[in-house]
Structure 1
Amino acid sequence: MSRVTLQSIADRVGVSRMTVSNAFSRPDQLSAELRASILAVAEELGYRGPDPAARSLATGTSGAIGVLWTEPLRLALSDAVTARFLGAVADELSADGLALTMLPPTVPAHDVAMDGAIAYSCAADAAPVEWLRRRGIPIVAVDMTWTDAGVRVTIDDRGGARRAAAHLVEWGHRRVAVLTPQPGGERLAGWLEGLAGIKPVVGFVDIFGDNRTAILDLLRRRRPTAVLCASDLVAAQVLAVAGELGLEVPSELSVVGFDDHPVAAGLGLTTVRQDPDAKGRAAAQAMRQLLARRTDPDAVAPSDVELPVELVLRQSTGPAPAGEGTPG
């Protein structure tokens, strides 16, 4: 039996080979009725779709967008905020017939076929990021300070952190701790601005790790009246340790998170809300524009995007305890 090709299907339906190709790769270019007819004939003839390798050789494209995240991929799948971001990117790009390829940090980025890449919350000097830059492919940097990317998509980390810290100052808190994954960064800068000269105790945590020991030491030895956390997951651990120590929240300890993770509302956690769906859509749209410029230099160039955030007040923050309104 001869091999079934796009041309075989085109001859049977009475359309061009390109029309058959569009039925598989660009369905938006055809009417629903015509596409259904083509797919029915393809099924009848036993055709299962274009060969990806052959299409890649013919078009010079892979049909895939890489997503680089230097944390273990199991965290991307288990963290609700990251999963929502990735889902929004995938949904948006699927309309263009593009798929996502996750790039584990252990797999060299130069070995994976992709038409472009989204670097998500990575250190700008990480080796996989450098490999992406060397490849010369379109790159969107998300939640990064990387200035060599084609375009950056960020949230207003600094402004959100500043409002969260100012909220604690307004409640009279002067003994404040901050829990951050690294020194520096926009979030820490915003906290310091919002604290208006109050010098906080700074503790370092693993955003996705078990920080119980470090938090226990902080609350026992430094006894802050409020803690600003780099994420809601860290804030949830602070609330758990406070419960172990018998500290009442918020009468003895106020806690503020960041992200508005699904756990936040259930815990009554005051937090800074971001919209991971909007961030994913913005990253995909920027990638779409970068890809368009590869074939049409006159296409609209994407601009950096900074998305707004919102301080959400819940039950985990309140006035500083009586007699604790001065720096420790």
Structure 2
Amino acid sequence: MNTAPTPFDPARALALARETFSIEAAALQTVRDRLDDSFARAVLAMLATRGRVVVMGMGKSGHVGRKIAATLASTGTPAFFVHPAEASHGDLGMVTAGDLLLAISNSGESDEINAILPAVRRLGVPMVAITGKPQSTLAQHAEITLSCAVDQEACPLNLAPTASTTAQMALGDALAVALLDARGFREHDFARSHPGGSLGRKLLMHVHDLMRTGDALPCVAPDTGFIDMMHVMTDKGLGFAVIVEDQKPAGIFTDGDLRRLLETGADLRALRAREVMHTGPKRVRAEALAVDAADLMEQHRITSVLVIDDEGRLVGALNTNDLLRAKVI
């Protein structure tokens, strides 16, 4: 029988939110204090796996399992999620003899998971279980069991999986962290598996990937007349001209230099590039990270930087617009 909804009470909602945090924090503390050598054995088993870590779980545990599989895969441990109900109808073929099964079930009595345990056993696939019931069917089939048991759920009815799924998630994260440390997994490894993310762009994008080259460069000789140099600057649209001598950048003249020169009242038509350039333009190597070029520009409050090779010859130029388009900054 349906009952009338309780009128919304902001104070009660806030109190329940705080109680939820308290219950789940206490659950995590309990799980942490209960960790023993079985956790280390689980990590060692995953490290020894020649294939992949296959994660399974039903319902809310399944949602947690998908996240755990994604976290493992992105931190150096090949892993994927298989829905246990689909496994009974053909998807078990994704599991090979070199894999390891990470099965998640708070009760340890999920029919869909338990139905495939004999087949997994015949494959000789080792199994790690995350369950709240150490005496459950799932735990009895597993070589290693990690307990996610909690004293109570955060749900006021003590029914909806809340604290228990938080505990499962934390155990999965703990496994991933221990594994990435044991594998020597570092920032560049993470970037390679996240090429579309901001960290990937910062750690994988090099200056030579973004720099302007060839005819796009506003290059002039030292004896180039001022007006001709202005035509080159306007045509290339980078806000500067680089004065090149013997293929090396001898100096640079920028839009800012032009504004300052105009204030002097000098006869611009009589000037040559070498007379107005300033020496020592900022340079970076083509193989440098684009983020390092961005840091150089920010440090010196400039919008462009010249790119040189190992011999100091000009090979390109980079400005903040290039970095913005690549989402490096």
> When the two structures are superposed, what TM-score results if normalisation uses the length of structure 1?
0.32
Higher RCO (CA 8 Å, separation ≥ 6 residues): 1
> When the two structures are superposed, what TM-score results if normalisation uses the length of structure 2?
0.32
- Whose radius of gyration is greater, 1 or 2? 2
